[in-house]
Amino acid sequence: MDDLRARGRRLLDQAKDARAIGRFLAADAFYPFWLQILREPSDGDVVEAETSARRAIEIAEGLGDADLASTALDALGGVSTSAYQWADALVTTRRRLGFEDRLGFYERLDAHSMVSWMSFIMGDLAGAEKDSAAMVARLLPGQAPYPALHLLAWRTITLMMLGRWDESVTIFWRALEAWNDAGRHAAGYGLRGFIAGLDIARARGDARIQSAASEAITSIVSRFDSAHLHQELLSYLQGDAGLTSDTTIFQGAYPSELAERRLALACDNRAKLPQSLLEAALAAAIAKREPLLAAQLQRALGLASRDMARFAAALETWERSGALPNIGRARAERGLVSGDAGETDAGLAILRKVGDAYYVDRFTALS
């Protein structure tokens, strides 16, 4: 990528075609987004990308090229996500939706996926659900499977977090169909949806969904390097969160929604994690503006230290977001720690309502 960028920069001064220049600059502006996989982008990387994106936007607007303008705005949003500025990225993405009637279907799908992504990370599950529902309703079977998978994955995990599991399962199957239609590719961006399907299958004891989700996750993970953090998801398939005292999933660009799911499983299993690790991870999640992960860390700290304030902090976030299965867990566990049988029963009732038989059945033993 560095070599391609350098060659493009050398050719840029010779280029005369405005559209070609705009396309290069828009592509180049995605650099911090991809770079974060390896390291934190420098201030220079960010400034250069912002400059490229804004120049590409100007060129696109001058040409009246809606798809190019959308791509350049997407790159600008990517710069924001690399700095964990989710709200800024959401504002930029909504600019794309302002002219979505002029966009090709791929660009429109991508823009709605970004709205769902940013809304979810910010803890706005209602916003993520509303926007994804509107776009999924327009999506026909087999249509644009690559970007469709992105949108369907975010909708699957959003509905799972809301406790709307029947709807989530329906979208899970559509996501799986899109992945198959796309050639069963190395869709790391689809893992969040397949993990959500797996979580529901495990909770309900649904062997069919569990098998389908496990097969997709295994296939995707197998395409990544043996040292990649996605490889740790293979233990997740066996019911082990795979977290240790030296885990690094709370650092860098590891997807916060996958970190949250793995930590949730660790809490369900009552795994013992060092309080120092959890405290450091909580500080990082707060700094990166990732409330759903921060709430799960508060739950973990509440279990580790029997601290009512930790459960209260987790519940405050989850009640605001409407994360029903997590609300049920936190209430049941807080009641257990405080000796309030009424609250424990209320929490378990929530979980019975959403169909989480696995956790409810194991609760006494885990306690």
Asked, colleague to colleague, whether 1-103 and 120-239 share their fold, the answer is yes
Mean pLDDT score, 72-98 = 95
Percentage of the chain modeled with pLDDT above 70: 100
Residue pair 317/329 in contact (Cβ under 8 Å)? The answer is no
Identify the architecture of domain 1-103 in CATH: Alpha Horseshoe (1.25)
- pLDDT for 193 beyond 80: yes
Mean pLDDT of the chain: 95
User: Residue 209 has what pLDDT?
Assistant: 98
∠85-128-150 over CA atoms, to 5°?
85
User: Residue 251 has what pLDDT?
Assistant: 81
> What does the block give as tokens for 87?
């709200």
User: Residue 364 has what pLDDT?
Assistant: 77
CA pair distance 7, 4, nearest whole angstrom? 5
- pTM of this structure: 0.94
Domain ranges of the chain: 1-103, 120-239, 247-367
> What does the block give as tokens for 335?
């009641």
pLDDT in tens, 200-256: 999 999 999 999 999 999 999 999 999 888 999 999 999 999 898 888 888 878 999
Alpha-carbon distances of 218 from 187, 210, 221, 237, 296, rounded to whole Å: 11, 12, 5, 9, 25
- pLDDT for 320 beyond 80: yes
User: Residue 1 has what pLDDT?
Assistant: 86
Alpha-carbon distances of 121 from 22, 158, 220, 287, 288, rounded to whole Å: 30, 10, 23, 13, 10
pLDDT in tens, 111-125: 999 999 999 999 999
Question: Pick from 213, 232, 238: which is nearest to 156 by CA?
Answer: 213
User: Residue 112 has what pLDDT?
Assistant: 96
Q: What is the pLDDT confidence band of residue 15, given thresholds at 50, 70 and 90?
A: very high
User: Residue 131 has what pLDDT?
Assistant: 94
- pLDDT for 92 beyond 90: yes
* Nearest 10 degrees: Cα torsion 53, 58, 60, 61: 140
Quickly count helices (H) and strands (E) in the chain: 20, 0
Q: Return the CATH number of the domain spanning residue range 120-239.
A: 1.25.40
pLDDT in tens, 141-174: 899 999 999 999 999 999 999 999 999 999 999 9
- pLDDT for 8 beyond 80: yes
- pLDDT for 13 beyond 80: yes
Of 38-47, 253-262, 263-272, least confident by mean pLDDT is 38-47
CA pair distance 63, 69, nearest whole angstrom? 9
The length of the chain is 367
**DSSP string covering 67-90, please?**
HHHHHHHHHHHHHHHHTT-HHHHH
User: Residue 245 has what pLDDT?
Assistant: 83
Question: Pick from 288, 223, 228: which is nearest to 260 by CA?
Answer: 288
